[in-house]
Chain A
Amino acid sequence: MAEEKLLVLKNIRDPGYAGDLAAYRKTGGYTALKKVLQAMKPEEVVEAVKASGLRGRGGAGFSCGMKWGFMPPPGDKPHYLVCNADESEPGTFKDHLLMVGDPHMFVEGMIIGCFAMHSRHSYIYIRGESMYAIRRVQAAIDELYRNHLLGKNILGSGYDLDLTVHPGAGAYICGEETAMLDSLEGKRGLPRFKPPFPAQSGFDACPTTVNNVETLANVPFIINEGTEAFAALGTPNNTGTQAVCISGHLERPGVYEVEMGHNLESLIYEYAGGIRGGKLLKAVVPGGASADVLRADEIDIPYDFDSLTNAGTMRGSAAVMVFDEDTDMVEVAERTIRFFNHESCGQCTPCREGTFWIKNMIRQFLDDAGDEALMQRVDRAAGNIIGTTICAFGDAVGGPMQAFVRKFPEEFRKHFAS
C-alpha cells in the first residue's frame, strides 16, 4: 500500500495508541497549547493560522485564519467557537475517526482557537447518532478538567475556558453552520440568511466562529512545527494534508491521509486498493453527496479544493464515493435525491418543492417510463434550485442532479418508456 502523509492521523495509525490524555501527552500533546498560553498573543495565533494557509476541512474550504480574523475585538458580548462535529454529509467519516481515535488533538486545537478568539465558553456539536464519539470526547474533556487544562486559570496562564459537548438530534441540515447554531440554541435547526454572518451574530446573537473537527486538529501542528512546515505540505493554495474518506466498490475502503493535491486516481487505486473484484470504474462522487459526479475518465486530477472546483465539482468534506461498472447511475441519482428530499429543512421553496419534484421524476425513470423531455425537465428543475435558496443545500442538490443527467444520459435512456 502507498504510504500516507500523516499529520492528523499520526497517533491513530499507531496500533498501541490509547487516545487518552497520558498517551496524547507522550506524543507531544498540549505542548502547542502551553506555547500559545505562555508566549503568544491571540492575534499572533490568528496570524500564524492565516499564514499557514489552512483551509476549512468541513466542506467550503474557507481560509481558517481569515475566519478567525473576522471575529470582532473583545466587547460586551461573549465570543464563541463552535466545533462542527455533526459530520452529516453522506460518505464522510473522518471526523468520527478523529474524535474516537484521538479526541485530544482537535480539542487542543480548539482550546488554542478559543484563546485566539477570546472565547470563555465554547461548544462541540456532535451528531447525535455518534454516541461513541460523544462518549470519547466527553471523557477527554473530563480528563482536561481534572488536569487543569480546562476550567479556571489553564496552565497558570490566567485564561479560563469551558467546553461543552452538545449532541445533535440527527438532522443533515444541522451540519450547516447557522442551522447548527439554531439547533444549539434549542430551536429547530433552520439555516439563517446572511448577513449577519456568525462572526457578527452567531450563537445566542454573539460573535461566533464555526470550525470543523479536522480543521482544528491541524492547529497544534501549525503552532508546534511552524507555519512554513505546514505550508510546505500540499500545494501553494491548498496547504497541509487531508483525511480522505473513500467508500464504495473498493478493495480497501477507509480513511487515508495524503497531502493536498494528491492524485485522485492514485487515492482510489493505490490507497483504496482499486475496484472490488477487479471490475471497471464507472463513476466517482468526489466530495460527498453534494459534489457533482465524475466519470471514470475524469479522475486523473489532483485532489484538493481548487483542482476539483476547476473540474466542475468540489472537494467538499473529502468523501470519495466510488461506483463500479455494474452500478445503475439512475439508482444512484434516486438514492441521492431521496436523501436530499428527506433532509431538506423545508424552509425555502425551491429546495423544499424541488427535491420532491425531482425525486418523482427520477422514480419515473426507475419505473422505465422516462423520455428525453423528462431528462431535460430534471436538468431544468435542478438548475432552478441552484442559487435561489438561503443555504448551500440548494446548490448541493441542484448541481449533482444536473451532473447525473448530463454525464450519464445513456444510463437514463436505458429507462425510457419502450
Chain B
Amino acid sequence: MPTFHLDDTPIEFEPGENILPAALRAGIEIPHYCYHPGLQVTAQCRQCLVEVTDMGNGHGIPKLQTSCSTPIADGMKVSATSEKAVWGQTVVNEFLLVNHPLDCPICDQAGECDLQNFAFKYGSGQSEMDYEKRVYGWREVGSFIVLERNRCIQCSRCERFSRDIVGSHDFGSFLRSHELTFDTFEDAQITHKFQGNLSDICPVGCIMNRDWRFKKRAWMLNKTRTVCPTCSTGCNVTIEHHDNRVFRIKPRENPEVNRWWMCDEGRLNYTYLNNRRDRILEPLARVKGELRSARWEAIYQAIGHRLQEIGAQGGQVLGLVDTHATNEELYLMRQLLREGFGSEALHFPYRLGAQQEQPPRPLADPFIFTLITTDKSPNTAGALKAGLIGDSDDKRLKAALKAPPKVAFVMGTPFVDDDGVRQAVAKAELIVHIGTFRSAWMELADVVLPGYTYAEKWGTFVNKADRVQRIQPAIKPPEDAEDPLRILASLLELLGNEQSHAAAREVFDAMGQQAGPFQGLSWDAVGELGTPLIGNGAPQASA
C-alpha cells in the first residue's frame, strides 16, 4: 500500500483517500467540525487545516489545505503541527468563538462538545471580541429535537444529513455571512424517524436531544457498549447511565450494522429500564390463589417437589419463550425441556421482519431506512437458528395445546396478547414464569421468578442479517432478581442435571463447541462489533 507521512508518522492509505480520514484511522487527531465520515465533504469549517510540505513530487503547497478534502499522494509529507498549521487551526478556532455564546455552564453539550474540547486545546483562553453577538431564540423543530441556534457553528452537517441520508430536505441553510443559520422552513416540524442522529452529529449544543435536555451533565455518565433490542436490526449502541439510571442511548459506530445511525424509537426505548413500579422485584409463589413473596430457596424446593410429582405422572411439558431472550437463555431452556422432560415443545412467536420505513424520495444510498424493521424483537433469527418452533399464526402452538400441558415454562411475555393460548396454558398444573415486568402471564403463574432486562445481563442476539452480537450489563438489577441463566441452571440442577455453565460466556463457548449455528465461535471471537454466522447446518432464518 502507498504511504504518506503525517508529521513523523508514516501512514498507509487507500488511493483516493483524503488526509483526515487516514489520520483518524491511524489514531491521530486533527481538529474538525464539518467533516463526518458518513456525510459529503464540504471543507467549510476550515478547522482541519494542515500544511502540505511535499506533495510527493518535492514541491509543497504554499496555502494551508483542509485535510478533510485533500487527497493523499504517494510520498506526500503533511504536517498538522507545524507553526503554520497550528496558526491556521488557532485562528479558525478564534473565529468560531466570535459569535458562539460560550454558554457552556448551561449547555447540555458541555463535556462532549467538539468546540469546547478543541477550544480548550487550541484556543488562547481569552477573547478579543467584545461586541454584541448575533442572537436567535431557541425552538422545537421536531418531536425529538430542539434547536438552539445561538450555538451553531455553521458546519452544515445537519443540512447534509437531511438532504443525503434521510432525503427529507427539511433542514437547510438560510441567510448568509454571520447570520447564516440552519433551520426548517418557517415553522415546519421535522417528522422523520431519525431525528436523534441530528443531535449526535451536531458538534456543538445547537441541535439538542429533547428527551435528554437538562437531565445530566455529560461527564457524569457511564457508558456501556451493547446492542439495541428494539427491532431485529440490532443497532450497536451505548447505554449511558449514572447512579443506576439510564439517561440516554446513543448509536455506536459499526460499519456492518448501523454505520453511525439509529432510529428514534430505539433511542427512546430505555425509560422502562428505570421503571421499578411495574418491575417484578422479588420471587413470588401462589399460595391459596394469591401470589406471595417468597425466598428463592423455598421456591426452588417447592418447584422441585411439584416437578417430581408431576414427572411421575407423565404428560406434556411445554416451553414458551419470546425472542427477547438471549441465545444462551434459549439454549438452557431447550436443555431444561429436553433433558429434564424429554420435551421438544419449545415455542416462540415468530414475527416476520420487513423494512418499516421508506425514503420520501429516491436516494443515492437509502441505507438508513433499512434500520427499522417490523420485527420488534432482537433475537428472532437466533430462535430460528436454534431450531425452536416459530409460530407466526399460533397454529402449531394451538395444535400442541389441544392436550393441556402438565407443566408450562413461560419466559418473557410470549403470546401474552393471545387469550386462546393463555386459557389453554392456564390448565397446566404448574406454570413457572420467568419475567421482568408485570404481565398477564404473571397473573396465571404458580411461580414467578424475577429475571433481568437486556441492560442488566450478558448474552448474545442474532440479528436479521445472521450476525451474532453481544450485550452486556449497564445497570444493576433489583436486589432480589436473578440472572435468567442462573435460574435456568438452578432448575436444571433440581432435575438432577448438574449444570456447570451459568455465565453467558461459558454457555456461549459451550455452544461453540457443539454442532449448531454457533459452532466454531467463541465469546471473545464475537467481540464488541459482532460477527456473521457462517457455514452451519442450522435452518436459515427466513426473516
Contacts and interface: CB of A to CB of B under 8 A. Distances in A.
Interface of A: 171, 188, 193, 195, 341-350, 352-357, 360, 364, 377, 384, 387-390
A354 B128 CA distance: 12
A388 B49 contact: yes
Given A352-B95, A354-B95, A390-B44, 13 more contacts: A193-B69, A345-B176, A346-B173, A348-B44, A349-B45, A350-B46, A350-B91, A350-B95, A352-B178, A354-B98, A357-B129, A360-B131, A388-B49
Given A188-B173, A193-B66, A353-B98, A346 B178 contact: yes
Given A195-B71, A384-B95, A349 B47 contact: yes
Contacts of A352: 95, 154, 177-178, 180
Contacts of A388: 46, 49, 64, 88, 91-92
Contacts of A344: 176-178
Interface in B44-80: 44-47, 49, 63-64, 66, 69, 71
B466 to A, nearest CB: 39
A350 B92 contact: yes
A354 B60 CA distance: 27
Contacts, number: 90
A341 B216 CA distance: 39
B189 to A, nearest CB: 23
A342 B180 CA distance: 11
Interface string B74-100: 000000000000001001101110110
Nearest to A363: B131
B177 A389 contact: no
Nearest to B90: A384
B152 to A, nearest CB: 11
A193 B66 CA distance: 9
B204 to A, nearest CB: 13
Q: Chain B, interface size: which category?
A: 20 to 34
Nearest to B176: A346
Contacts of A341: 177-178
B504 interface: no
Interface of B: 42-47, 49, 63-64, 66, 69, 71, 88, 91-92, 94-96, 98-99, 128-129, 131, 134, 153-154, 156, 173, 175-180
Contacts of A345: 176-177, 180
Contacts of B92: 349-350, 388
A353 B46 CA distance: 12
Q: Which of A193, A341, A347, A355 has the most CB of B within 10 A?
A: A347
Contacts of B66: 193
Contact of B99 (A193, A356, A387): A356
A193 B45 CA distance: 12
A356 B156 CA distance: 19
A357 B131 contact: yes
A346 B44 CA distance: 9
25 contacts: A188-B173, A193-B66, A344-B176, A346-B178, A346-B179, A347-B44, A347-B154, A347-B156, A349-B45, A349-B95, A349-B96, A350-B91, A350-B95, A352-B154, A352-B178, A352-B180, A353-B99, A356-B134, A356-B178, A357-B129, A384-B94, A387-B64, A387-B88, A389-B46, A390-B43
Given A384-B91, A384-B94, A355 B64 contact: no
A350 B177 CA distance: 10
A374 to B, nearest CB: 9
Given A348-B46, A377-B128, A356 B177 contact: yes
B83 to A, nearest CB: 14
A348 B180 CA distance: 11
A342 B177 CA distance: 6
B63 A387 contact: yes
A344 B173 CA distance: 14
B44 A353 contact: no
A225 B285 CA distance: 108
Contacts of A353: 95-96, 98-99, 178
A390 to B, nearest CB: 6
Q: Which of B43, B46, B99 has the most CB of A within 10 A?
A: B46
Contacts of B178: 341, 344, 346, 352-353, 355-356
A327 to B, nearest CB: 26
A171 B45 CA distance: 21
A388 B85 CA distance: 10
Contacts of B179: 346
Contacts of A193: 42-43, 66, 69
A346 B154 contact: yes
A344 B178 CA distance: 8
A345 B178 CA distance: 9
A344 B177 CA distance: 5
B175 A346 contact: yes
Q: Which of A195, A353, A360, A364 has the most CB of B within 10 A?
A: A353
A342 B134 CA distance: 14
B252 to A, nearest CB: 30
A388 B69 CA distance: 14
A172 to B, nearest CB: 10
Contacts of A349: 44-47, 92, 95-96, 153-154
Contact of B98 (A342, A357, A377, A389): A357
Nearest to A173: B176
